[in-house]
Amino acid sequence: MHVAIIGAGYAGMAAAAELAARGVRVSVFEASRTLGGRARRVEAHGHPLDNGQHILVGAYAELLRLMRLVGADPQALLERLPLSLLYPGRMALRAPRLPAPLHLAAALFAAKGLSFGARLAAVGFMRAMRQADFRLARDISFDALMARHGQHDTAIRYLWAPLCVSALNTPPSEASAQVFLNVLRDSLAARREASDLLLARTDFSALFPEPAERFLLARGGELLRGSAIRSIRRDPYGYRLEGDPDRRNYSHVIAAVAPYHLTRLAAGLPRLEPLFEDLAGFAYEPILTAYFGYPQPVTLPAPMVGVGGTAHFLFQRGAAIVSAVVSARGPQLELPREELLARIQAEIAAVAGPSPAPAWTQVIVEKRATFACRPGLRRPAAETPLANFFIAGDYVASDYPATLEAAVRSGVACARLVR
Ligand SMILES: Cc1cc2nc3c(=O)[nH]c(=O)nc-3n(C[C@H](O)[C@H](O)[C@H](O)COP(=O)(O)OP(=O)(O)OC[C@H]3O[C@@H](n4cnc5c(N)ncnc54)[C@H](O)[C@@H]3O)c2cc1C
């Protein structure tokens, strides 16, 4: 048995680690020189930044398990903060260290900036969803869900919509209410630790993909960087990959590339029309991250601060580095670069106090950061009509939106399908 994995993003490296742990022979092919795919290190201005600011939550059980498996200690690499949402001067919600579900009820009841009616409606919404087991008879949009449950404008603006947009990366009018509820069920409505925010102390190549590579190599596997696979062919002995310098046969292939790369990669394989049809139904949403490097420390009032203006959230990235995130489509992405940066700089100064002009800035736009998570979207299964050819990635059928946790779960599921 020899498994080829195409793509060393979080899904591919999860599959590789899981298979290597079982003693299966694995070769990973990665087009880029940097591991991590859509969550990877980008060196800029002498700093190891990322292609985009990422956050994890305590509910990412599979990613945390895999980090431990490959020797990347979550306690050392992640800063764990109790759930808190802070919009300075407008709204503040913080979960106390109480057992679930008291932590959430207390957080909602004590939220500052929400009227008594808004808080009551929010608690009622969570109770109703819990009673319904977080299941909808028919998927609708996030906006329709909020209207159906009488949520107040302020609670939507400062609580539910920011959670929806940061998890689903899809405008609230188009976002799937069912997937939003799946996220609520496993984070806010689960164990208290599941709702914790986890902020990386390192970049996202070093967080998991690079330790996973070391784990793989120590178990006899191989990882070829800068090796783009152009196509996959099947022959009586298994699979061959065009672009594999050794031109070997593989018993199994796991294609762990983004959905928009899969159609071309797998075009030469038979019987995959249903998969290609599903892939044609996907649309994509961008994420913009702007980094501001200052000549002296600039301190935000919390490690993660809601803005809800030009930027959606600001993050303290280091003593003198702040990152700003704009999720999903929106008018911000049309702004001239200078204006975008000036507006965000004013938003940083408004919460951090008078700040010096940044010494450097770096804007990264990922145009196809995630798939648009819309109601009723059909997502393909990991198993394909072709024996021993599997697909892994954040877009593969699951309860979750396009996230690191969805990606690693799908990689692990593929590894388990390899027999
Ligand atoms: C800016 C941004 C911010 C985000 N924020 C968050 C967040 O806060 N929290 C969260 O959980 N998720 C977040 N996400 C989503 C998360 O990053 C993705 O869901 C996840 O990284 C997807 O992993 P993947 O392995 O499925 O795919 P990818 O990361 O796309 O991996 C695919 C890999 O395949 C390689 N590849 C492609 N074609 C070939 C080929 N022909 N041959 C060889 N290699 C190939 C690519 O180079 C890539 O490395 C964010 C994404 C972005 C872009």
In percent, the amount of the chain with pLDDT more than 90 equals 97
- Which residue's CA is the nearest one to ligand 1's atom 32? 257
Q: Decide if 104 contacts 130 (C-beta within 8 A).
A: no
Q: What is the pLDDT of residues 175-222, one digit of tens each?
A: 999 999 999 999 999 999 999 999 999 999 999 999 999 999 999 999
In whole angstroms, what is the distance from residue 199 CA to residue 57 CA?
8
Q: What is the pLDDT of residues 34-67, one digit of tens each?
A: 999 999 999 999 999 999 999 999 999 999 999 9
pLDDT reported for residue 255:
98
Q: Decide if 300 contacts 321 (C-beta within 8 A).
A: no
Distance 36 CA to ligand 1 centre (A): 7
2-75+202-282+377-417 classified as CATH 3.50.50.60: yes
Report the alpha-carbon angle 219-5-16, nearest 5.
Answer: 35
Q: What is the largest CA-CA distance in the chain?
A: 69
pLDDT reported for residue 347:
97
CATH of 284-371, one of 3.90.660.20, 1.20.1560.10, 3.65.10.10, 3.40.640.10: 3.90.660.20
Q: Give the burial class of 23: count Cβ atoms within 10 A of its Cβ; 0-12 exposed, 13-18 middle, 19 or more buried.
A: exposed
Q: What is the pLDDT of residues 358-382, one digit of tens each?
A: 999 999 999 999 999 999 999 999 9
Pocket of ligand 1 (CB under 6 A): 6-12, 29-32, 37-39, 51-52, 54-55, 228-229, 256-258, 261, 265, 287, 289, 366, 369-370, 393-394, 402-405, 407
pLDDT reported for residue 371:
98
pLDDT reported for residue 369:
98
| pLDDT band with cut points at 50, 70 and 90 for residue 100 | confident
- Which residue's CA is the nearest one to ligand 1's atom 51? 369
- The tokens for 351 are 């919460």
In percent, the amount of the chain with pLDDT more than 70 equals 100
In whole angstroms, what is the distance from residue 106 CA to residue 94 CA?
9
pLDDT reported for residue 355:
87
| pLDDT band with cut points at 50, 70 and 90 for residue 303 | very high
Burial 304-343 (b: 16+ CB within 10 A, else e): bbbbeebbbbbbbbeebbbbbbbbbbbebeebeeeebbee
3-state secondary structure of 404: helix
In whole angstroms, what is the distance from residue 10 CA to residue 277 CA?
25
Q: Where are the domains of the chain?
A: 2-75+202-282+377-417, 83-195, 284-371
For the residues of 327-374, what is the DSSP string, one character each? ESS-GGGGS-HHHHHHHHHHHHHHHH-S-PPPSEEEEEEEEEEEE---
Which secondary structure element, helix H or strand E, spans residue 109, and what is its range?
Answer: helix 102-110
Over residues 221-234, the mean pLDDT reads 98
Give the position, in ligand 1's atom list, of the atom nearest the Cα of 404: 11
- Which residue's CA is the nearest one to ligand 1's atom 5? 54
Distance 143 CA to ligand 1 centre (A): 28
pLDDT reported for residue 419:
77
Distances (CA, A) of 66 to 20, 267, 326: 12, 32, 29
Distance 266 CA to ligand 1 centre (A): 18
pLDDT reported for residue 161:
97
pLDDT reported for residue 101:
86
**Cis omega before residue 101 (within 30°)?**
yes
| pLDDT band with cut points at 50, 70 and 90 for residue 97 | confident
Q: What is the pLDDT of residues 102-128, one digit of tens each?
A: 899 999 999 999 999 999 999 999 999
Distance 9 CA to ligand 1 centre (A): 5
**Average confidence score pLDDT of the chain:** 97
Q: If we measure between CA atoms, which residue out of 172, 163, 188 comes closest to residue 108?
A: 188
Give the position, in ligand 1's atom list, of the atom nearest the Cα of 10: 25
- 305 φ, ψ (degrees, to nearest 5): -130, 130
Give the residues across from 93 on adjacent strands.
85
- 120 φ, ψ (degrees, to nearest 5): -60, -45
